[in-house]
Amino acid sequence: MAADTLNENRMRERELRYFGRVLAGQCHELVNALNIAHELCGLHEDTLPRALEGQVGAVEKLGSLARRMQIQIARCHAILRVLSRFAHSLDEPEGTYDAREIVERAVFLAARQARLRQTELQVVLPQGGVPLVDYNPFRLQQAIHEGIELLLEGVAQGRRITASLTPDPLGAEVKLESGDPLLCNEAAVGRLAELTALVQAAGGEVRETPEDGGRLVFLIPYGRRDATSPDSDTVGRGGATGGC
């Protein structure tokens, strides 16, 4: 089997694992919202007899409970909207897309992990003008998400990770910053090398790595280069496999 095919198969397997991981995580988020809605319905049921008896405040309580249920329903809709776009992104061909949407989506998908790590996640998008760049939408989204995960491993509790998108003369620049250096172990360095390969497969390049500054910068060029799966020689170039 040709090296390119092997690499592509490896990349596909990795995509599938990522897809499953995201789906499972978002299912947990949905279940959390549904559990709350379940309890709110229970409290609504508990309150109803008191409202029928005319107890002071009980009718207002029913209204308040209905609004709180609506919040959880809206939360479920937001998750499902993102999940639907996420699932479709696997089918979408490489092409020209709105980079803002994909950065926003990757940050949304990483929010659960950030919360579990007690880290704030912030997204900063350009005000005017939509950067239109050529990339593999699923892989770029995966690269941003996995970049955030990599930073999350090294970030101190209570810190913030910022994902920002800025237009660049060559395309669009995605910057992930935590202020804390990459976790210094073999696994983290290996994952950084894998991430570099993923960014290349998405049609971009890694400009800076978080090894010493907690900053990961990708460039997604306007004119997509021939970026089929990278061969093993290119994986990790640009300091991505260096020690820490």
Partner 1 sequence: MAALRVLFVDDEEELVSTVVERLDLRGIDATGAMSGEEALTRIEEQPFDVVVLDVRMPGLGGFDVIKRIKQSHPDLEVILLSGHGAKEAAETGLRLGAFDYLQKPVDLEDLIAILHRATGRE
Query: In 10 A of CB 201, how many CB atoms?
Result: 23
> Which part of the chain contacts partner 1 (CB under 8 A), choosing from 35-43, 124-132, 140-148, 191-199?
35-43
70 counts as binding partner 1 under rule CB under 8 A? no
CB of 187 to partner 1, least distance (A): 21
The Cα–Cα gap between 8 and 23 comes to: 22
115 counts as binding partner 1 under rule CB under 8 A? yes
CB of 206 to partner 1, least distance (A): 29
Q: Which residues contact residue 102 at a Cβ distance below 8 angstroms, ignoring those fewer than 6 apart?
A: 89, 137, 140, 141, 144
Q: Which is nearer to partner 1, 12 or 28 (CB)?
A: 28
How are beta strands 95-98 and 215-221 bridged, if at all? Answer: unpaired
Return the axis-axis angle of helices 99-116 and 3-52, rounded to nearest 10°. 70
The Cα–Cα gap between 29 and 41 comes to: 19
Q: Which is nearer to partner 1, 72 or 162 (CB)?
A: 72
Q: Which is nearer to partner 1, 111 or 165 (CB)?
A: 111
Length of the chain in residues, anyone? 244
Rg (CA), the chain: 22
The Cα–Cα gap between 8 and 12 comes to: 6
Contact with partner 1 (CB under 8 A) among 14, 21, 68, 207: 68
Six-digit token pair at 185? 């172990």
Write out the DSSP string of 209-231.
-TTTTSEEEEEEESS-----SPP
Contact with partner 1 (CB under 8 A) among 7, 106, 117, 155: 117
The Cα–Cα gap between 244 and 234 comes to: 20
> How far is C-alpha 224 from the geometric centre of its chain's CA atoms?
22
28 counts as binding partner 1 under rule CB under 8 A? yes
Each residue 45-64 as x (binds partner 1 by CB under 8 A) or -, in order, gives -x------------------
CB of 59 to partner 1, least distance (A): 17
Q: Binding to partner 1 (CB under 8 A): which residues in 2-21?
A: none
CB of 28 to partner 1, least distance (A): 6
Contact with partner 1 (CB under 8 A) among 7, 18, 22, 40: 40
Contact with partner 1 (CB under 8 A) among 32, 64, 164, 241: 32
Site residues (vs partner 1, CB under 8 A): 27-28, 31-32, 34-36, 38-40, 42-43, 46, 68, 71-72, 115-118, 157
